[in-house]
């Protein structure tokens, strides 16, 4: 499975969990951050730096998804393996 497909499938899992994903430029002076998960008014939002590489976006999404109970939704085995291996 290529990186773009992996990213797309991880985004679908986030959508099933009602996690809003926002791709934004995240920059402060000389420090560039890839993003992170936050909770605002009871809703989860994952902010991902739009300038991050596809691999970094995948790692950030996998890490965020690992924090949730995924047992009640169907996730393709390859995507579940990604979350388990990259979400550390």
CA distance 39 to 84: 22
User: Domain segments of the chain: what residues?
Assistant: 3-80
CA distance 67 to 61: 10
Q: Model pTM?
A: 0.88
Does the pLDDT of residue 87 top 80, yes or no?
A: no
pLDDT at 28: 66
Residues in the chain: 88
For residue 74 the two structure tokens come to 């169907």
User: H/E element holding 27?
Assistant: strand 27-28
Residue 44's CB: how many other CB atoms inside 10 A? 17
pLDDT tens-place string over residues 9-50? 999 999 999 999 999 987 766 666 778 899 999 999 999 999
């Amino acid at each position: 499975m290529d990186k773009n497909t992996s990213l797309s499938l991880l985004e679908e899992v986030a959508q099933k969990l009602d996690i809003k994903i926002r791709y934004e430029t995240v920059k402060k002076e000389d420090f560039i951050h890839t993003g992170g998960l936050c909770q605002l008014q009871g809703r989860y939002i994952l902010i991902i730096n739009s300038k991050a590489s596809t691999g970094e976006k995948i790692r950030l999404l996998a890490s965020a998804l690992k924090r949730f109970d995924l047992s009640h939704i169907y996730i393709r085995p390859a995507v579940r393996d990604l979350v388990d291996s990259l979400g550390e």
